[in-house]
Amino acid sequence: MESTTPVVLITGAAHRLGAHTARHLHHRGWNLIIHYRSRKAQANALCEELNSIRHGSAVSLQADLAIPGEAESLGAKAIAAWGRLDGLVNNASVFYPNPTVGAGADDWDIIMNTNLRAPFFLGQACLPALKQTHGAIINLVDIYSQRPLADHPLYCASKSGLASLTLSWAKDLAPEVRVNGVSPGAILWPEGDAAVDESYQHSILTRTPLARTGIPEDIAGAIAFLLCDAPFVTGQILSVDGGRSLNM
């Protein structure tokens, strides 16, 4: 028997904002499909946590969204998990500096495939199921889609493309499917090669009217609002940035 519980697929949901969003939506009664690329242990641990709260409410699926074809396969597996899909959150993203003079074809493929190609083809694969449930797509954009960050041309281009895709889809997929975006500001500082020092963090906060970082629940709550509580909202990109986009 097909499940009557709403189901959402969240890409890049094993940690950081994706994991917080998964917990938030699970608390609101959704079944979760936790996508991960390499964080298998974290994804499985999150599923165990959620299933301990509500049995059979979360599964994990692996896919490398930088590889063509993986997004489409992920979409098919996600729909098969419960026989329905009510929401898609395109959260997975690649972010690292790559100045134009040093950027190569591999950088292009990794960033563009993960940040823009995968959301498109994943959305395409999920579309029939989303139409059946009058579901919604939420794309995680970025304030840098509007005003680029130095030495990140490919990342900024990918997020600008995703912002444009959000608006295009909102027109093309209506009235069956709503499409919106969330554009985070300073919530969690980047990790790994993209990490920033304290002086840079301070410079960001001085340009943020609320003069502080946000918390992951700010993003999770915005996503939940657009998925669950905004049936007459489509084609919007909600900035959750403490006002920073006013002072870029």
Positions marked active-site: 155
Q: How far apart are the first and last CA of the chain?
A: 51
- 3-state secondary structure string, the chain? CCCCCCEEEECCCCCHHHHHHHHHHHHCCCEEEEEECCCHHHHHHHHHHHHHHCCCCEEEEECCCCCCCHHHHHHHHHHHHHCCCCEEEECCCCCCCCCCCCCCHHHHHHHHHHHHHHHHHHHHHHHHHHHHHCCEEEEECCHHHCCCCCCCHHHHHHHHHHHHHHHHHHHHCCCCCEEEEEEECCCCCCCHHHCCCHHHHHHHHHCCCCCCCCCHHHHHHHHHHHHHCCCCCCCCEEEECCCHHHCC
Give the whole-angstrom CA distance, residue 173 versus residue 216.
29
Give the whole-angstrom CA distance, residue 48 versus residue 26.
13
Q: Tokens standing for 88?
A: 């898609």
The upper half-sphere exposure of residue 34, i.e. CA atoms within 13 Å in the direction of its Cβ, equals 33
